[in-house]
Amino acid sequence: MTHKSKLIKLLAVLFAFTLVAAACGDDDGGDSSASSSDEVTLTAEGGSLLETVQERGTLNCGVSGAAVAFSTLDPSGNMVGFDADFCRAVAAAVLGDAEAVNFVALTAAERFTAVQSGDIDVLMRNTTWTQSRDTDVGMDFGPTTYYDGQQLMGKASDGFSGSSTVADLDGATICTNAGTTTEKNIGDAAEAAGITINLQTYEDFDIVTDNFISGACDVVTTDGSALVGRKAQQQPEGEEWVIFPGAPISKEPLGPTYGQNDSQWADVVNWTVYATIIASEKGINSSNASSVVGNDSFDAEAQRLMGGEGELQSLMGLSADAFQQVISQVGNYDEIYSRNLNPVGLTRDGSSNAGWEDGGLIYAPPAR
Amino acid sequence: MNEIELSNPAKLPETPKRSIGEWVKSNLFSNIPNTVLTIVFGFLALYSIKGLLGFILSGERRWAAVATNMRLLMAQGYPANQFIRVWFTLGCLMVLTGISLAIWRSNGVLKIKRIGTWVLNLGLGAAIFASLAPVSANARGGWLIATAVLLLLGYFLKIGSDKSMLPDDVPTVWFSFGCLAVLVLSLWTVPYGHYAFTDGELIAESGRTVAMSTKLPFTVMLLLLIGAFMLAEVARGLVHIPKAKIVLSSLWLLSPFVLNWIVLRDPDFDYGRVFSTDIPIGLLFIGFGFLVLYPLTNPSIGEKGRLVAIALLMFAAFNWIAAFFGLYPMLQKVRISFLLLALAALLAPNFAADNRTRLRFISFWAGFIIVLHWLITAINSPSTLDLQGPTYLGGFSLTLFVAVLTLLLSFPLGVLLALGRTSSMPIARVLCTVYIESVRGVPLITILFFFSNILPLFLPAGMEIAELAAIVTGYTLFSAAYLAENVRGGLQSVMRGQYEAADAIGLTTSQRTGFIVIPQALRVSIPPLVGQAIGVFKETSLVAIVGAFDILRIAAYVVPAQTEFLGVKREGLLLISVIYFAVAFSMSKYSQKLEERVGLGER
């Protein structure tokens, strides 16, 4: 009997405790981590990611972490590069602090899952904008920040020159890294030109380059930006590497990527990119950005963009001086480009990434 | 009696002394095939050494890439102004090591003669280096001098101890301290990482200091180690040794959690919340634990208590299931605590005894809850550090973190799984078998990817799993399945008679398992378990697949992507292979020691 009553008492205590615990939980609205899962659902349920990011105080930005000149870790562990700077630009626009970025290094396999699951707010991981990615995987693409394209690199001593074409590759050993679209592109190009090539693939492009240097590969192929970097850093003395053809064999527009159907967030990211481009056109840079407003030597559009009269940033849910912060903390497009891509030998002049006034493709709609 | 005498090395017949010439003749040139083998492999070895030295010292190597990125390789983006935390962590470990060395009385000795042999071998190595390395004539001369000095020193040590000019042996501990001191002293004099080899000449590179910034902290670390050891030697007579051992063991067990989540991560506690929610919940569970566990440990309730435990367990399980449907908003901590309380209740009848034992069991529960709630609160609090990236650790520290935590957590889980699989209870057996077989059937990469990327999609609102926690959880579950099979091998080697004898003297099942079966099973499983530990350590490099920056990813992909060191990959890979080898080899050496101590392979 006594045992039974003890057991009943125990169960009663247990029941009472459950009620207390459940009540506790209710008061509290769940875990301390509840807010972060709200982020996940917010985009799907109508509210904008913009408010979530502003509330959180940091921007989760997906990058590669190992893409030469686009996003790499410097020796003290800071994320640097072209993509990393555009992460900082978005953070400066949304939060007013270019350093309020939480960089998430993603592998190629992970990047789309990370966007879908809401782990990251924006993906700056030199991802090519393609129709299938735009429709399939629940993502939207922003304005292209870098126009890349697949090219080939050969040695001048083998008779290649800047004006060589795919047709000159008959019988050559061409190397590239495995598992990318570059493999397919060069195969298609060779077929179209009616030549036979010997295609060899290696684990990564470091090994490809080593084989190119040792002579095991006649020609290597990958995105033009990477080839220029390799040429700048690894071309041995007394040897001349040439990159051809002038018109790349594939189109690789790279730009920001974010979750689907969040128009407000898309506007913020897109116009941050546009602001850097317009600033570049108008001669606004990191040193003069703070003195544009009220300065008559800048036109009305520049004034508006930097938060002067008639500014439109407030309508987007940003502070009036959001883009002024972007330019003064991170720089305009030309500054970002020169800082990160000039050291590896990529110049804007004459490339697709020159401003539209100079015959390039970098163009922004007017800020009015 | 005979056996004991046999195991005493002093009574074993002495191995006859042989001169080096005789040894070489009988081992290397005993017959024609052996002679051919010796010559062929001798040349092969010399050729590979020459190739390796040529590779390391070649002018094409850019060791500056490694030296400049040493911080990245070791701690990735850990904020430089917070590095004191890293040193504090290391200091804690040094103090613990020092005290443990004294308490566990590591009074091993090293024969001077043996040290002499090592020095002679070093001299031989220097001789090989001097003759094969592609260095300038001056450098070669330097190496020849070093060879001569080492050979003379080794010879002196050997002869000196023979002629009893020197003591016979030195304590191993002090010998190790001495070696470490030499290393640390060399930091003050040799500017490591200052140099680059160009065409066999040493070229000083300015601004590439590695050792210079770390020499002071490393000196402090060494002093801490030695100081803690000496203090503990003194205090040894004043404390109760078995108790000290228990305290030290728990400190060691706690240290990875506390050092990582509290010291390195520096949680930003929200004190209002801590006082309004966290502390009351903790107290509630302590009180509730008392209310449940005290009656359940009453011997007169006996096995009926398990019914309550099972009710509690079902309730705890219901909480988890409900969470997946978003039914019961409840603190994660409460759910975890309920589950643990249910498990403790399930164990409680085994601790049924007099009041003192019962209270000790409950105070253990209270301490456990305090530590657990503190850790959970710390993990849930944001970090105050200005961190770049989701994981506050990277590089070698991440590798160590994942390996240590995984081993620590998967060991008990693996033993439980092994017991479950060999148990006579069909449900436990089937569950454990299904778990082990299904986890072993899936590649580690898949599991890591699932835990890091897919699981967050399924988690309901209010549940989140941090990147590092996801990695460690997935890896633990994976490693436990393999560990279980290793332990099961050990379990099967325990003779039937041992079980019967335990039953005959009236031990309960848990006593039999805990005191008779497990110790014997683990003793036999040491070699495969250490093999597994080494595997776990090395396979941590797979965490790169889910975006974490472990040392391999940094060396293989991050450093070669830096504009300054584009494509400089081999240097980093060589360095980390040395690091991996050093850790794995020490583990293997330790296991050999352990096997010797428990007398494995002698019967």
Q: Are strands A219-223 and A173-177 parallel, antiparallel or unpaired?
A: parallel
Same domain as B546, residue B463: yes
Interface test with B, best of A5, A31, A177, A204 (most B CBs within 10 A): A31
The band of A9, judged by pLDDT with boundaries at 50, 70 and 90, is low
Task: Note whether residue A14 is domain-resident.
Answer: no
What integer is the mean pLDDT of B482-492? Answer: 92
Residues of A in contact with B69 (CB under 8 A): 75
- Give the model's pLDDT for residue A122: 94
Same domain as A166, residue A137: no
Rounded CA gap, A177 and A66, in Å? 15
Rounded CA gap, B384 and B392, in Å? 11
Q: Is the pLDDT of residue B106 over 70?
A: no
Please say which residue of A250, A284, A308 terminates a domain: A250
Q: Which residue of A has its CA nearest to B282?
A: A21
| A48 and A40 Cβ atoms separated by less than 8 Å | no
Task: Note whether residue B190 is domain-resident.
Answer: yes
Same domain as A302, residue A268: yes
Interface test with B, best of A68, A79, A120, A206 (most B CBs within 10 A): A206
Same domain as B435, residue B370: no
Residues of A in contact with B462 (CB under 8 A): 30-31, 33-34, 37
* CA angle (A114 as vertex; B563, A78 as ends), nearest 5: 30
Task: Note whether residue A261 is domain-resident.
Answer: yes
Helix locations, B80-136, DSSP H: 83-103, 112-132
Q: Of A120, A250, A125, nearest to A181 (Cα)?
A: A250
For A68-122, the pLDDT digits (tens) are 889 888 887 788 899 999 999 999 999 999 988 988 888 777 788 888 878 889 9
- The amino acid at residue B67 is A
Domain total of chain B: 3
Task: Note whether residue B489 is domain-resident.
Answer: yes
Contact with chain B for residue A26, Cβ under 8 A = yes
Count of CA atoms in the C-beta half-sphere (13 A) of B181:
10
| B309 and B346 Cβ atoms separated by less than 8 Å | yes
- Give the model's pLDDT for residue B326: 67
Residues of B in contact with A109 (CB under 8 A): 449, 545
Q: Of B587, B483, B571, nearest to B534 (Cα)?
A: B587
Contact with chain B for residue A110, Cβ under 8 A = yes
Task: Note whether residue A7 is domain-resident.
Answer: no
For B425-483, the pLDDT digits (tens) are 888 899 999 999 999 999 998 998 888 877 766 665 555 667 777 888 899 999 999 99
Per-residue burial over B399-421, b = 16 or more CB atoms within 10 Å of its CB, e = otherwise: bbbbbbbbbebbbebbbebbbbb
Q: Show the domain range for B328.
A: 269-381
- Give the model's pLDDT for residue B411: 92
Dihedral angle, C-alpha B365, B367, B368, B370, nearest 10 °: 120
Residues of B in contact with A7 (CB under 8 A): 301, 304, 307-308
Complex-level ipTM: 0.74
Cβ neighbours of A366 (radius 10 Å): 9
Residues of A in contact with B284 (CB under 8 A): 17, 20-21
CATH of the domain at A218: 3.40.190.10
Interface test with A, best of B82, B278, B464 (most A CBs within 10 A): B464
Please say which residue of A229, A250, A271 terminates a domain: A250
Contact with chain A for residue B281, Cβ under 8 A = yes
Q: Of A155, A361, A120, A355, nearest to A252 (Cα)?
A: A361
Contact with chain B for residue A184, Cβ under 8 A = no
CA distance, residue A193 to nearest chain B CA (Å)? 32
Same domain as A279, residue A259: yes
Mark which residues 329-348 of A lie under 8 Å from B by CB: 343-344
Q: Which bin fits A307, alpha (ψ -120 to 50), beta or left (φ > 0)?
A: left
Task: Note whether residue A289 is domain-resident.
Answer: yes
Contact with chain B for residue A18, Cβ under 8 A = yes
CA distance, residue A347 to nearest chain B CA (Å)? 15
Same domain as A258, residue A140: yes
CA distance, residue A206 to nearest chain B CA (Å)? 6
Same domain as A267, residue A138: yes
Please say which residue of A210, A225, A250 terminates a domain: A250
β-bridge mates for residue A139, sequence order: A259
What's the token pair of residue B300?
């007169």
Same domain as B511, residue B569: yes
What's the token pair of residue B66?
């490694």
* Confidence (pTM): 0.79
Option in B300, B546, B558 nearest A66 (CB): B558
Domain total of chain A: 2
Same domain as B212, residue B306: no
Q: Are strands A101-105 and A59-63 parallel, antiparallel or unpaired?
A: parallel
Task: Note whether residue A298 is domain-resident.
Answer: yes
Same domain as B213, residue B296: no
Q: Of B341, B349, B290, B334, nearest to B313 (Cα)?
A: B341
For B246-296, the pLDDT digits (tens) are 889 889 888 888 888 788 877 778 788 888 888 888 898 889 888 888 888
Lowest mean pLDDT among A294-303, B141-150, B199-208: B199-208
Instruction: Provide CB contacts within 8 A for B4, sequence distance 6+.
Output: none
Option in A13, A21, A38 nearest B291 (CB): A13
Q: Show the domain range for A154.
A: 150-250
Q: Check A28 against B277: CB less than 8 A apart.
A: yes
